[in-house]
Amino acid sequence: MNTIINDIEVLKAKTTKINEVDFDNLKFGSVFSDHMLECNFKNGKWQAPKVVPYGPITLDPSAKIFHYGQSIFEGMKAYKDAEENVWLFRPLDNFKRLNISAKRLAIPELPESYFMDGLKALLEVDKDWIPKKDGSSLYIRPFVFASGNGFHASPATEYKFIIATAPSGSYFSGEVKVLIEEKYSRSANGGVGYAKAGGNYAGQFYPTQLAIEKGYQQVIWTDDNTHEYIEEAGAMNIFVRINDTLITGPTSDRILDGITRKSIIELAKSEGIAVDVRKITVTEVVEAAKNGTLKEMFGAGTAAVISPISGFGYKDQDYTLPKLDDTFASYLKKRITDIQTNKAEDPFGWRFKV
Ligand code: PLP
Ligand code: COI
């Protein structure tokens, strides 16, 4: 049946898969809700978005996404509170970042209403898919890719914007040990590191596999020029705590401007925690680990939330972080998730009611 929600056409799925899902044991991003938002760019403009049943899409083998990797995405979460209200966290920031990525990848930028109203319509139709259990949420994946055809190495003339959602539990299942990278690079000045481009992730898979073989879960990327500055992890920005100061590197051409990162900086400062946004050298982190002043390291991101790092490897040497009772990571994680899930006041105006 076709219905209209806020001028977005909705084509309902004939059946639901929701009864097959074990909401108490959700993995990350592996089951998908009944519907998706679909919007096509053709004849020089974005066409009206529609909510349609979630399912496969057909592409021509010459579609430029397959050959030239014109593809960008976002990561967001929807939360449901005890009164069944649905909340997003700083969604306009995701919209703006999608268009920053679009510009860099020569993809046509999206109108704000297509993103926001499309997302609201999708969440309205699939609201039963938003988990209520603590630590679970509906992970939202907006993405745009070149669906237009041709082997010519130039931007496509047709694109698809899709939002798919997946009820999800935590991103990491156990402890996170990281390897500080000395050889490979994720990004370079003038490159696409600041964009959420699919190829940024593909390029990380091989070095990350090598790290996993050595017993680590993630790579910490260092700058491509000297490998002396800590930049970010595969899917997270990085914070280190030396004594009682929280330090994170400044964003640049090479680093994704994480929404969790900037929220943590603001939140921590407002709670009286000393925060330094400055370049962090591998040498100082190794020295701090050796002399006991390195208290914590954690990753921050939408999927990973705040994920404590238990230790790191560098130049064939392993360093273990202390196991503290009260960590900035657990304090800030509780504060930010309480704000996200409407369990605490939101003095920053970050929470967005759907
Ligand atoms: N860095 C990278 C490479 C990421 O993929 C992500 C995840 O989105 C982040 C950082 C954290 O960004 P955000 O907090 O906006 O999710
Ligand atoms: C997110 O945190 O939403 C991301 O996009 C990271 C992803 C690679 C899982």
Other Cβ atoms closer than 10 A to 77: 21
Report which protein residue has its CA nearest ligand 2's atom 7: 235
pLDDT score at 154: 98
Cβ of residue 301 lying under 6 Å from some atom of ligand 2: yes
Q: pLDDT (tens digit, 9 = 90+) per residue, 258-303?
A: 999 999 999 999 999 999 999 999 999 999 999 999 999 999 999 9
CB of 259 shorter than 6 A to ligand 1: yes
> For residue 1, what pLDDT is reported?
56
Task: Tell me which ligand sits closest to the C-alpha of residue 142.
Answer: 2
Report the candidate in 49, 156, 174 with the shortest Cα–Cα distance to residue 106. 156
Exposure letters 207-232 (e unless 16+ CB within 10 A, then b): bbeebeeeebbbbbbbbbeebebbbb
The series of mean pLDDT values per 10 residues for the chain, 354 residues long, is: 77 96 94 98 97 97 98 98 96 98 98 96 97 94 98 98 96 90 96 97 97 96 97 94 97 96 98 97 97 97 95 97 94 97 97 97
Q: Are 237 and 300 in contact (CB under 8 A)?
A: yes
* Ligand 1 site, residue 302, Cβ cutoff 6 A: yes
ipTM exceeding the 0.95 mark: yes
SS (H, E, C) 202-230: HHHHHHHHHHHHCCCCEEEEECCCCCCEE
Ligand 2: which of 27, 94, 171 to mutate, most ligand atoms within 8 Å of CB? 171
Residue identifier of the C-alpha nearest atom 8 of ligand 2: 235
For residue 143, CA distances in Å to 18, 269, 345 come to 23, 33, 31
Please report which ligand is nearest the Cα atom of 254: 1
Q: Nearest to residue 194, comparing CAs of 104, 277, 265, 108?
A: 104
Is the shortest distance between the CB of 142 and ligand 1 below 6 Å? no
Cα–Cα dist 237/231, whole Å: 8
72 lines ligand 2 (CB under 6 A): no
Q: What is the DSSP string of 55-103?
A: ------TT-HHHHH--EEE--EEEEE-TT--EEEESHHHHHHHHHHHHH
Q: Is the CB of 258 under 6 A from ligand 1?
A: yes
Nearest-ligand number for the alpha carbon of 141? 2
Query: How high is the pLDDT of residue 174?
Result: 80
The kind and range of the H/E element at 41 are strand 35-42
Q: Which residue has the tokens 């994680």?
A: 333
Q: Which residue, chain included where needed, has tokens 């995405």?
A: 73
- For the four alpha carbons of 257, 261, 267 and 269, in that order, the dihedral sign comes to negative
| pLDDT at 63 (0 to 100) | 98
Q: How far apart are the C-alpha atoms of 75 and 89, rounded to whole Å?
A: 11
Report the 3 state secondary structure along 245-262. Answer: EEEECCCCCCCCCCHHHH
Q: What's the pLDDT at 155?
A: 98
Closest-lying ligand 2 atom to the alpha carbon of residue 76:
3
Separation of CA 301 and ligand 2 centre (Å):
7
* Number of neighbours of residue 311 by Cβ within 10 angstroms: 15
Residues in a beta bridge with 40: 160
Q: How far is CA 264 from the centre of its chain?
A: 15
Q: With a 6 A CB cut-off, is 74 part of the ligand 1 pocket?
A: no
Specify the ligand 1 atom closest to the Cα of 97: 15
The CA distance from 15 to 315, in Å, is 54
Q: Ligand 2, residues 302, 306, 336, 340: which to mutate, most atoms within 8 A of Cβ?
A: 302
- Residue 20: helix, strand or coil by DSSP? helix
Which atom of ligand 1 sits closest to the CA of residue 256?
1
What is residue 175's predicted lDDT score, i.e. its pLDDT? 85
- Find out whether the beta carbon of 236 lies less than 6 Å from any atom of ligand 1: yes
Query: How far is the centre of ligand 2, averaged over its atoms, from the C-alpha of 29 (Å)?
Result: 10
Radius of gyration of the chain (CA): 21
Q: Nearest Cα to 336, choosing from 304, 292, 294?
A: 304
The rounded Å distance from CA 293 to ligand 2 centre is 30
What is the pTM (predicted TM-score) of this model?
0.96
Whole-angstrom distance, CA of residue 259 vs CA of residue 316: 33
User: What is the C-alpha separation between 313 and 216, in angstroms, rounded?
Assistant: 8
